[in-house]
Amino acid sequence: MKIISWNTQWFKGLDEGVDVARIVRVAREMADFDAICLQEVAVNYPMLTGGTPADQPAELARHLPGFQVFFAPAIDEFSPDGRMRQQFGNLIATRLPVRQLQQIALPYPNPACAPGEGGALPSMQRVLAVCTVQAPWGPLRLMTTHLEYYSLPMRHAQAVALRDWHLQACALAQQPPKAEAGTPYQPKPHTRDAVLCGDFNFERDSGEHGAVVAQMPANGFVNSWDVLHPGEPFPATFRIYDRTYGPEPVGCDFFFVSESLIPRVRRFAVDQATKASDHQPVLIELA
């Protein structure tokens, strides 16, 4: 089972061109993927998409025949003139059978000012997109997100919430609620098997990373890179070519897996050559 995660910057490459087909082509060159998780996908924001198709989830679906596409907007609003519904968020596309969809709003505490500066920081609501798919061995919760960039306290609160929500889902899997067939209470595909990916806007040595992988009595998350390459530096996934947001390349696009999936992690890869976005696509393979 191959999964790709990529912050596509609304499909804008470093050449300033917005091109959905290019993103799909580069991803397919990386792997014959079973699912792809994208961050920063836009609908009806002309300042972002320019003269390209305004509904990017629909355009992506056109380029992925045989895949189901699920868009989870973190922002869902109307344009200032009230004429257009505008959305911005994360997306999961998969050719695996889908059992359940969930969309979880992440904490949005009031953002603090930048240290030593006055005025508010930019911020927006963030969301966790969850798609429970039928993997070859059973149900698997595939999750993708894009955490706060400017405010560290907000980002840390979101990292803690991701861990806590996963532990809640694992508790439901361990002791499922009573089910009633044919109603909204009907059986759900509760599972401890989970993959969490996305652009986390933190690095491997950060407190936020530590919050996600904090040791739990059972069912915690681990960084899939550390499963395969313990003690080795995490590869750069951001600022390799574009230094707008900092002077050095960093790694902030991760795949976390539940402890139950550790024996299944086979490969982790980063395409550090492409310039189709300001982030690099990341791949995990499970067996």
Question: Measured over all CA atoms, what is the biggest interatomic distance in the chain, rounded to whole angstroms?
Answer: 58
How many CA atoms, within 13 angstroms, populate the side-chain half-sphere of residue 117? Answer: 9
Question: What's the pLDDT at 206?
Answer: 98
Asked if residue 146 lies in contact with residue 174, where contact means CB atoms within 8 angstroms, the answer is no
Q: How far apart are CA 263 and CA 144, in angstroms?
A: 21
Question: What's the pLDDT at 114?
Answer: 57
Structure tokens at 190: 């509760």
Phi, psi of 2 (to 5 degrees): -115, 130
The neighbouring-strand residues paired with 282 are 5, 270
Average pLDDT, the chain: 95
Residue 217 — pLDDT band, cuts 50, 70, 90? confident
- Has residue 113 got a pLDDT over 70? no
Q: Which residues contact 70 (CB under 8 A, 6 or more apart)?
A: 91, 92, 93, 98, 101, 129, 131
Question: What's the pLDDT at 110?
Answer: 77
Q: How far apart are CA 273 and CA 259, in angstroms?
A: 31
Q: How far apart are CA 133 and CA 139, in angstroms?
A: 6
Q: Which helix (H) or strand (E) holds 127?
A: strand 127-135
Per-residue model confidence as pLDDT tens digits over 157-194 = 999 999 999 999 999 999 999 999 999 999 999 999 99
Where do the domains of the chain lie?
Answer: 2-108+124-176+188-286
What mean pLDDT comes out for the span 8-23?
98
| Architecture of the domain made up of 2-108+124-176+188-286 | 4-Layer Sandwich (3.60)
- Per the listing, tokens 């969301």 go with 127
